[in-house]
Amino acid sequence: MASIDQNAGGRNRLGDQPVKQQRASSRAVSNQAMVAAQVDPLAVMRIKNLQLRAKAVVEGFYNGLHRSPSHGFSVEFSEYRPYTVGDDLRGLDWKLFARSDRYYIKKFEDETNRRCYLVLDQSQSMGFGSLDYSKIEYARTIVATLAYYLTQQRDSVGLMTFDETIGDYISARNRPGHLRQVLVALSREVRGSGTDLDAPLQQIASLIRRRGLVILVSDLLASVESLQTNLAYLRSRGHEVMLLRTIDPAETQLQIQSPSMVVDMESGKEIYIDPESARSDYVDRFEEHGRQLQAICESLGVDFFPIITDQPIEQALFHLVNSQQRRSARTSRSGMLATSANRSGGAT
């Protein structure tokens, strides 16, 4: 199926706006939609069943799409657009109709059959949390949500969990029962110790033969040098990589009230900290670390999204979709050029 965006010759059904302007406006709309579609993460996290939690987030995400003032939210923004008269009924997503009672046309169907590998950090540092839930619980929810969403998109989803060694590994599949298998693995109680990003990322590179999307959910509280090396290797193997850095609000501002003996959750080492005198230095170093991670990811073409655990979980979905959109824009550009080239060549 040809890309509708491409056949429209750079114009779409939103009107005669140029594609770039439409994309910009759709991005702005998408942001508004994101704001409007917020589901209180506390409320979500109270759902004990992981699958139900994931489902709630995904549906909330879809509802957010629905509540967008712009009907036909974005042709480029998502792979769904509302059905209009004259659309090819073969592109109609009947499952979505069954769920939402609305007609949507699914595009780039061939692009949705991707392999996604969800890599979850389960080290001790992920066990930290200043809210009612820890980072690991939030991250598991994100991973479950992404798995649920991608499965619905008919993408193959795989899972790898790690701390200082590989925990669970489920290869990417899209068959009945696979999502359940993933969710069961996610629900397992684990006792992580230290964090080692080297080993799991190297193993992913060796285990994943065919190209796909690797989504790493971690707090990335480790050396940036090793991360750079491993990400570069993954990219060199042709994988798309997305990093979702899961951070607790207390970690961004060192929310310790009084001088205390602070214990490292991974090493057990303890030091005396007076937050009044240590805070500014901590914030500087923490933000510097974040900037370094950002810079590395930009240089490697890796999408990097920090996610604070008090923010709605569907952010992750928005980030995923944004990422896919940018990717598809690059592809469509290259495809458009190829098509024009072919036409020119064919015409002659």
Partner 1 sequence: MSLLAPFYFAGALAIGLPILFHLIRRRPRGEVHFSSLMFLRPTPPRLTRRSRLDHWPLLLIRALALMLLAAAFTRPFIRSASYSDSELPSRRMVIVVDTSASMRRAGLWEQAKSKVDEILSDLRPGDELALVAFDNKPTTLLRFDQTSGISPSQVRSSVTSLLASTTPSWAGTDLGRAISYAADLAVTYEPENSVSLSENPQDTSATDVPRRSGSPQMILVTDMQAGSKIESLQVYAWPDQLSLDVRQVSSSQRNNASAQVLRVRDNEPQETDRVRVRVFNSGDADQSSYRVSWIDADGNPIDAMGLPIQVPPGQSRVVQMPSPEPGVTALTLQGDDHDFDNRWHVVSPQPESLTLLNLGTESADSPVPDPRSSLLYYLQRVPLSTNRRKVKTQTMSPDQLTEAPEPKNVPLVVVTEPCSANTAALLRKYVTAGGQLLYVLADQRTIEGSADSLRSITNVDGLKIAEAAVDDYVMLSRIDFRHPLFATMSDPQFNDFTKIRFWSHRTLTDYPESWHVLARFDDGDPALVEQIVGTGKMWVLAAGWQPEASQLALSSKFIPLIFSLFDPSTGTQVDRNQFSIGDRVPWEPSSTAQITLPSGEEISYQRSSDFQTLDWPGRYEIVDGESSRSIVVNLDSDESRTEAMGADELERYGIQLGSTLTTVEELSNQNRLRDSELESKQRLWQWLLFAALVMLGLETLLGGMLSKTRSKKAAEAISV
Q: Is 271 in the site for partner 1 (CB under 8 A)?
A: yes
Interface map 321-340 toward partner 1 (x if CB under 8 A): --------------------
Please give the Cα distance from 155 to 55 (Å, whole number).
Answer: 16
Closest contact distance (angstroms) between CB of 142 and partner 1 is 17
Q: Is 268 in the site for partner 1 (CB under 8 A)?
A: yes
Interface map 164-203 toward partner 1 (x if CB under 8 A): ----------------------------------------
CA distances from 218 to 45, 49, 58, 140, 232 (A): 18, 22, 21, 10, 17
Q: Is 261 in the site for partner 1 (CB under 8 A)?
A: yes
Other CB atoms within 10 A of residue 237 CB: 16
Identified binder of partner 1 from the candidate list 166, 262, 300, 336, rule CB under 8 A:
262
Using CB under 8 A as the binding criterion, the count of chain residues that bind partner 1 stands at 35
For residues 51 and 147, the answer to whether their CB atoms sit within 8 Å is no
For residues 246 and 309, the answer to whether their CB atoms sit within 8 Å is yes
Q: Is 125 in the site for partner 1 (CB under 8 A)?
A: yes
Q: Is 308 in the site for partner 1 (CB under 8 A)?
A: no
Please give the Cα distance from 174 to 38 (Å, whole number).
Answer: 29
Classify 77 as helix, strand or coil. Answer: coil
Torsion of CA 217, 221, 222, 223, to 10 degrees: 110
Beta strands in 88-237 (DSSP E): 104-106, 115-121, 156-162, 166-173, 213-218
Beta strands in 43-132 (DSSP E): 80-82, 104-106, 115-121
Closest CA to 3 of 340, 347, 346: 340
Q: Which of the stretches 1-9, 47-55, 127-135, 204-212 binds partner 1 when contact is defined by CB under 8 A?
A: 127-135
Q: Is 219 in the site for partner 1 (CB under 8 A)?
A: yes
Closest CA to 132 of 42, 211, 196, 4: 42
Please give the Cα distance from 89 to 91 (Å, whole number).
Answer: 5
Identified binder of partner 1 from the candidate list 1, 39, 131, 278, rule CB under 8 A:
278
Identified binder of partner 1 from the candidate list 40, 88, 132, 281, rule CB under 8 A:
281
Nearer to partner 1, 204 or 221 (CB): 221
Q: Is 126 in the site for partner 1 (CB under 8 A)?
A: yes
Q: Is 137 in the site for partner 1 (CB under 8 A)?
A: no
Closest contact distance (angstroms) between CB of 251 and partner 1 is 6
Closest contact distance (angstroms) between CB of 312 and partner 1 is 22
CA 302 to chain centre: 12
Q: Is 7 in the site for partner 1 (CB under 8 A)?
A: no
Nearer to partner 1, 209 or 269 (CB): 269
Q: Is 256 in the site for partner 1 (CB under 8 A)?
A: yes
For binding to partner 1 (CB under 8 A), which residues are involved?
125-128, 135, 219, 221, 248, 251, 254, 256, 258-274, 277-278, 281-282, 285-286, 289
